[in-house]
Amino acid sequence: MTASIALGSVLLASLFIGIPIAIAIGIAVAIALVISDIPAAFLTQSAFTALASFPLMAIPFFILAGSLMETGGLSSRLINFANSFMKPFTGGLALVTMLSCLFFAALSGSSPATVAAIGTIMFPAMVKKGYEPGFSAAVSASGGGLGILIPPSIPLIIYGILAGVSISDMFLAGFGPGFVAVICLIGAVFIISKRKGYKGSGEKINWKEVISTFWEAKWALLTPVIILGGVYGGIFTPTESAVVAVLYALLIGVFVYKELNLKRIKQSLISSSMMTGSILIILSTAAAFSKLISIYQIPTMIGNQILNISNNPLIILFLITLLVLFVGTFMETLSILIILTPLFLPVVTQLGVDPIHFGIILVLAAEIGLLTPPVGLNLFVASGISKLSIERISISVIPFIIAMLLALTAVVLTPQISTFLPALFE
């Protein structure tokens, strides 16, 4: 009991004073090991075992693929295509931004990359057309959050590894909730645009322009078809699909769009290596953390306490969701998944909750955390693009947070939104 208390209290204290999550977990585990008289080799052995995983190889490749697509001209062509048929409507440019985020999320699997790729182009365009700067930045930030839900998604891969469920099933499960989230966000854009008088171009849709921009963007739009079609067609595994995505991004960026050069490839390699390194360090220390909490039977104790409140799965899911929403205000997505999955997954599965459904709830709730200060990552990216303060963007993003909460409630209440596609492809 003393070691388990030390593990939790040291971790919380470390996070509270701003120590990076990987180091905070490592310090907490090391102190717990000393108290428990468990050999220090436990930490290194757990880390090595966790990283010696074939599915884990998908993460660096998807990160690199997203970076190459961002710099290879795919994002600009996706924006032109979305603009061709959305500009006549109320809030046209805001709707274009949201749909472009949706398209790019299906390519990159990364939320910050989506905000950066689409926001850099669309924020100046929206402001130039008379859209309020705070609203313009908020649209990019909220749309970018779709990057962690629309497959291929790095958080979905990590949850699949942590929970021991099929990554292919997690990808399939992301489509339904992703669609619900998109509808809610588009609804918020339309309502705000209507109220503030952000009118469309007033022109009719030019179908020649739609076809032309679609043809220019066809190689970008084919990316998710190739990646996901290959996975579910049995041609390659989700891990192998990440390698295919990198090769495809290179070929299209260098030989088709001709916007990728050696300098940009080098930049992509550096940025993706840094991001991959930080993720793997977190995963390595988190593996020891997960094993320790199992040894100390912390999930069992938490489960018993929760079951004393209620044994209704729906109530338990809402309680966990509220906790994730709170934790998401000061902790980023991967940290939430790594810490809370081993704590709560045994509890909810005991109550009959599908682990795939639970994973989608965690990811969707963590996605809302990307929009909430003080550690809302998308807010920082949007702030860097727009040169607006975090406070100003935080106020403008409130309607989109409400829209995401509506989507999250629908997903919690209706498990079939998450599970119908995995069940269909069994």
For 350-388, how does the pLDDT look when each residue is reduced to its tens digit (9 = 90+)?
Answer: 888 999 999 999 999 988 887 887 667 788 778 888 888
Give me the numbers of helices (H) and strands (E) for the chain, helices first please.
22, 0
Q: Is residue 14 situated within a structural domain?
A: no
Counting the structural domains of the chain, the total is 1
Q: Is residue 1 situated within a structural domain?
A: no
Q: Is residue 24 situated within a structural domain?
A: no
Q: Which tokens is 157 given?
A: 């891969």
| Beta carbons within 8 Å of 324's beta carbon, 6+ residues apart | 336, 340, 361, 362, 365, 366, 369
Q: Is residue 12 situated within a structural domain?
A: no
Q: For CA atoms 159, 164, 168, 174, give the dihedral sign.
A: negative
Looking at residue 12, its pLDDT comes to: 79
Residue 109: which pLDDT band, with cuts at 50, 70 and 90? low
Q: Rounding to the nearest 10 degrees, give the CA dihedral for residues 98, 102, 105, 110.
A: 40
Looking at residue 173, its pLDDT comes to: 92
Looking at residue 362, its pLDDT comes to: 92
| Eight-state DSSP code of residue 217 | T
Domain range for residue 69? 39-424
Q: Is residue 247 situated within a structural domain?
A: yes
Residue 180: which pLDDT band, with cuts at 50, 70 and 90? very high
Whether the link from the prior residue into 299 is cis, omega within 30° of 0, is: no
Q: Is residue 305 situated within a structural domain?
A: yes
Instruction: Tell me how crowded residue 351 is: count the other CB atoms within 10 A of its CB.
Output: 17
C-alpha 321/C-alpha 326 separation (Å) is 9
Q: Which tokens is 171 given?
A: 């990808």
C-alpha 213/C-alpha 138 separation (Å) is 26
| Mean pLDDT, rounded, for 199-204 | 71
Phi-psi region of 34 (alpha: psi -120 to 50; beta: other; left: phi over 0): alpha
Interval 227-249: pLDDT, tens: 878 877 778 887 788 888 889 88
Q: Is residue 15 situated within a structural domain?
A: no
Average pLDDT, the chain: 83
Looking at residue 392, its pLDDT comes to: 87
Length of the chain: 426
Q: Is residue 25 situated within a structural domain?
A: no
